[in-house]
Amino acid sequence: MTDLQEFRAETRAWLEENCPKEMRQPMSEADVCWGGRNWVFQSKAQEQWLERMAARGWTVPTWPEAYGGAGLSGDEDRVLKEEMARISARPPLQSFGIWMLGPALLEFGSEEQKRHYLPQIARGEVRWCQGYSEPGAGSDLASLQTKGVDCGEYFEVSGQKIWTSYADKADWIFCLVRTEPEAAKHKGISFLLFDMTSPGVSTSPIQLISGSSPFCETFFDSVKVPKDQIVGERGTGWTIAKYLLTHEREMIGATDSALFGSDDLVEVARDALGVDDQGRLDDPILRGRIADFLIDEIAFDAELARAKSWIRAGKQLGAESATLKYTGTELNKRRQELIMAAGGLAALEWDFADAAGDEKASLWLRSKGNSIEGGTSEVMLSILSKAALELG
């Protein structure tokens, strides 16, 4: 047996033994375990599953063991994911810490910072949010104005962020702050980490069209941030921010709604519309649109698989993350449009005041944000036309 086969056999046995039955089912957005200081586990099984996986370093399998991971190779990580998928095991933990901050800290953090922050992320003890966008700085993120004044031992941070997802639930924030007001736009930004319970931080939720209120306005009024909570050098925040965004974009591009138990388009269409005497969907024009979509979706799956194999081989995706982000999010919007069309009148039954998040209408409405969050589709195309095509 090769090492990898051996790893697979061990992994399979361990998962069989340790993954609670309740954690072997498709999940909806409401079933996600985000962790954090105030996290209330939805079940004993959810708690056990997180504890057991975290103890093995398998919430962040490829991170080094010293930082709470398991130091798995790319191939071992793939095997673990395959074995989890085999028994429909849910991810034990999801978080901005895992997807975004972690990779940035691994690249730019000091040794102390890595040893301090990363294991807390891996164990689901601290939940993070992302303080990038401001009312005046969206696509033009580098024009951000939240300021951090040097007060010797600490920076004093004042200003406002917006669209901060889960700011009201998060424990800490990774935040872009202008600390060098004299420097050029991109050179005056620092990447700060601070506790959301610090005096001077307040949040106010914003309701989305999909009913839920996952994101907030976030206000900073003279928040004291100790100097050792800066990642990298002063004024290098933009580089770190961009690096983190490539990971965010990969993640958004790779997340299909299946992660959140979205209905399968083919099933919805068959159940709602039925088939004719030839066994074809009883709506030939919608059938054509679905076929067209599925071709694109399967082709994109091949592209994602290729990108993942590149990542496993140690390649940084760079601008290619914009391709995945753009293609994946535009596809998901199309998928949700088609699910609504296939669901027809029945898909309209939905209560704004009591939306669970996994109804067709909720997912349809929420998907519209996919091509905005993490950088809009237009921004992705601009990045690609410059970085990949050298136009302009």
Partner 1 sequence: MRLMSEEQTMIRDMAAGFLDEKAPVDALRKQRDSGGGYDRALMGEMADMGWFGMLLDEESGGVDMGAEAAGLVAEEMGRRLSASPFLSSGVMSAVVLRATGGADWAAKLASGEAVVAMAIDERVKHRPDAIATTAEKSGNGFVLNGAKRFVSDGAGADRVIVTAMTEDGLGLFLVDPGLEGVQSRALKTVDSRDAADLRFDNVQLDGAALLAMGDAAQEALDGALRVGRAVASAEMVGVSKEMAERTNAYLKERKQFGIALSNFQALQHRAADLYTQIQTTDAAVAAALRAIDEGSDDAELLSRVAKAKAGKTASLAVREALQMHGGIGMTDALDIGLFMKKARACAEYLGDGECHGDWLLRQRGL
Ligand X SMILES: Cc1cc2nc3c(=O)[nH]c(=O)nc-3n(C[C@H](O)[C@H](O)[C@H](O)COP(=O)(O)OP(=O)(O)OC[C@H]3O[C@@H](n4cnc5c(N)ncnc54)[C@H](O)[C@@H]3O)c2cc1C
Q: Which residues bind ligand X (CB under 6 A)?
A: 130-133, 138-139, 163-165, 215, 369, 372-376, 378-379, 382
CA 79 from centroid of its chain's CA atoms: 22
Nearer to ligand X, 130 or 179 (CB): 130
Q: What is the CA radius of gyration of the chain?
A: 22
The CB-of-12 to partner 1 minimum distance in angstroms stands at 21
Nearer to partner 1, 207 or 309 (CB): 309
Residue 184 binding partner per list ligand X, partner 1, none, with a CB distance cut-off of 5 to 8 Å that depends on partner kind: none
Residue 133 binding partner per list ligand X, partner 1, none, with a CB distance cut-off of 5 to 8 Å that depends on partner kind: ligand X
The CB-of-388 to partner 1 minimum distance in angstroms stands at 6
Nearer to partner 1, 9 or 299 (CB): 299
Residue 288 binding partner per list partner 1, ligand X, none, with a CB distance cut-off of 5 to 8 Å that depends on partner kind: partner 1
Residue 264 gets which letter from DSSP? P
Nearer to partner 1, 187 or 287 (CB): 287
- Distance, CA of 18 to CA of 144 (rounded, Å): 46
Nearer to partner 1, 124 or 343 (CB): 343
- Distance, CA of 39 to CA of 124 (rounded, Å): 9
Nearer to ligand X, 64 or 205 (CB): 205
Query: Which among 263, 167, 172, 260 is positioned nearest to 215, based on CA atoms?
Result: 167
The CB-of-372 to partner 1 minimum distance in angstroms stands at 16
The CB-of-101 to partner 1 minimum distance in angstroms stands at 27
Query: Which among 160, 178, 27, 5 is positioned nearest to 79, based on CA atoms?
Result: 5
The CB-of-280 to partner 1 minimum distance in angstroms stands at 7
Nearest residue to the partner ligand X, using Cβ: 138
Residue 327 binding partner per list partner 1, ligand X, none, with a CB distance cut-off of 5 to 8 Å that depends on partner kind: partner 1
The CB-of-300 to partner 1 minimum distance in angstroms stands at 6
**Nearby residues of 149 by Cβ (< 8 Å), 6 or more positions away:** 155, 156, 157, 158, 179
- Distance, CA of 113 to CA of 108 (rounded, Å): 10
Nearer to ligand X, 164 or 190 (CB): 164
Tell me the backbone φ, ψ of residue 275, rounded to 5 degrees. Answer: -120, 155
Residue 195 binding partner per list ligand X, partner 1, none, with a CB distance cut-off of 5 to 8 Å that depends on partner kind: none
Residue type at 317 in one-letter notation: L
The CB-of-140 to partner 1 minimum distance in angstroms stands at 14
Chain residues binding partner 1 by CB under 8 A are: 266, 269-270, 275, 279-281, 287-288, 290-292, 294-296, 298-300, 302-303, 305-306, 320, 323, 326-327, 378, 380-382, 384-385, 388-392
According to DSSP, the β-strands at 230-231 and 172-178 are unpaired
Q: What long-range pairs does 102-107 form, CB within 8 A, spacing at least 24? A: 102/60, 102/63, 103/243, 103/244, 103/247, 104/174, 104/191, 104/231, 104/240, 104/243, 104/244, 104/247, 105/231, 106/63, 106/67, 107/240, 107/243
